[in-house]
Amino acid sequence: MIDSLSTYDNAIILLYFVIVLAIGLYFSKREKPTAEDYFLANRNMGWLVIGFSIFSTNISSEHLVGLASSGAERGIAVGHFEWLAVIFIIMLGWIFAPIFLKSQVHTIPELIGQKFGNSARKIFSGLSIFTYIFTKIAITLLAGGILLKEILGWNFVTSTVIILLFTGIYTIIGGLRSVMYTQIFQAVVFLIGGFLVLFFGIEAIGGFNTLFTELPSGHWEIFKPINDHDFPWLGILVGAPILAAWYWLADQYIVQRILSARNLKEAQKGTLLAAGLKLFPILLFIIPGMVAIQLNSSISSNGAYASLFNSNIFPVGIKGIILSGFFAALMSSLASAFNSTATLIAYDFIKGDNPETNDEQLVLVGRLSTIFIVVGSIMFIPMLKLFSDGMYVNLQSMQAYISPPIVVVFLLGLFWKRATSYAVIWTLIIGEIIGLLRLVADYFVLESNLTNTIVLNFVSLNYLYFAGILFSFSSFIFLVVSLVTSEKTEKLYSINKMAFNTNKINN
């Protein structure tokens, strides 16, 4: 029981956990699940499950904590990332889903590996796993811990154990099928809770007119000045699409839902549903954040959503629904990250090196990997205090440092015929080193009084502009290396092909 909540609220939260666990375990009922079933739900998912799963995978605790607080501090401009998502989700369904489904791959790195070899596949996959632990799992746990401490007074360890216990059970046992079916229920609970927050929040301040008339005018500026610290309009045009392309088109975390589709038509209808649902976060996070600052102008960084919850504007029973919605957002994203990371490990590192690995062994690898990922994620938490303030913007910053080389490799690798494996490998290595240098520089500038002009100028460059520059530089590397090595690669391919044919004839 949670002492700060009523009996009715506690009953609702308990009911939520019981239903989630029941759904997850029900859809995990397989005596000996095949690898295809465990990791891709037997490629038999329909559009409704896919659409809700994409939406639930995306929405997490960093949205409740970070997006709401960005709305409180900076206003509607943070919505650019949500509007862009709608466009890229539709692109996912109509441009990239046909490629993914036709290839019959299990992972995005596998698709890269089909064209550029096992080394490129492993680098791409390893980089993806690192980003999941650092930008998805650990950030989600950190945001969840912050919110539960603000709302319920729980310490981080208590919050993490409860979240991981319930999420891990059905994820480890049931795989993707359990994850996706629980996400339908979780999305519904989250949406109901979000609209209740919006309704009672707007009522508490006297209606929407109060927001328009009493908040600073800057909160309603869609396009911020070109030198704005967080959302410069030119940076939004140049950098934000790069982040969106990585997240929605090239990320196993999202694309795994498409790979589970029964057919292309179901995948496309699912992306349309997800795109429609993605219009709601502006109402459910940004506007409530603006309501929170109207109710309490002294809220702490990342404290907008918690301040609403603690403002006594919700009747008995409503708090239980809202808090269940928070748990739903948190658990659905964690479950997706766990399963996607386990899929990468199983197929790109185990099956990729040992094609003879059977289904039972792969499923065991997936389950053990999930346990390992949970432990590894917790170890990253102490390193994340750099991103505890202004969490949503800082999360976008991390993605801006990581995503440009990946997007270059993904797009040029798929659509440019002269691309080579050397270009893939060197673009990822050089591009990610530069991104890591920026991340490290950010940390040291924040933690120490560095006065080096070069470092300060490097760090002062807006993260969206940095993404655009790194994307351009990575593209240059990819093009140059491809052109230099294309002839060499062709000769090597011809030699290998001749050797293969000779061995085939001799045998």
3-state secondary structure 398-421: HHHHHHHHHHHHHHHHHHCCCCCH
Give the pLDDT of residue 457.
Answer: 75
482, with CB counted inside 10 A (0-12, 13-18, 19+), is buried
Query: What was the pLDDT predicted at 377?
Result: 67
Q: CA dihedral defined by 215, 219, 220, 221, rounded to 10 degrees?
A: 150
- pLDDT tens string 244-271: 999 999 999 999 999 999 999 999 999 9
* 3-class secondary structure, 106: coil
Residue 501 is predicted with a pLDDT of 47
Residue 67 has what pLDDT? 82
Q: Which domains does the chain have, with CATH numbers?
A: 7-19+45-401 (1.20.1730.10)
Q: Which residue has the tokens 């199983």?
A: 346
Non-local (6+) Cβ contacts of 101 within 8 A are 258, 259, 261, 263, 264, 267
Residue ranges in the chain modelled with pLDDT below 50: 493, 495-507
- Where helices occur in 117-239 by DSSP H, the ranges are 118-131, 138-152, 156-205, 208-214, 233-238
Q: How many CA atoms lie within 13 A of 106 on its CB side?
A: 26
Q: Tell me what pLDDT residue 390 has.
A: 54
- What pTM value is reported for the model? 0.90
CB 107 within 8 A of CB 252: yes
pLDDT tens digits, one per residue of 161-215: 777 777 888 888 888 999 999 999 999 999 999 999 999 999 999 888 888 888 8
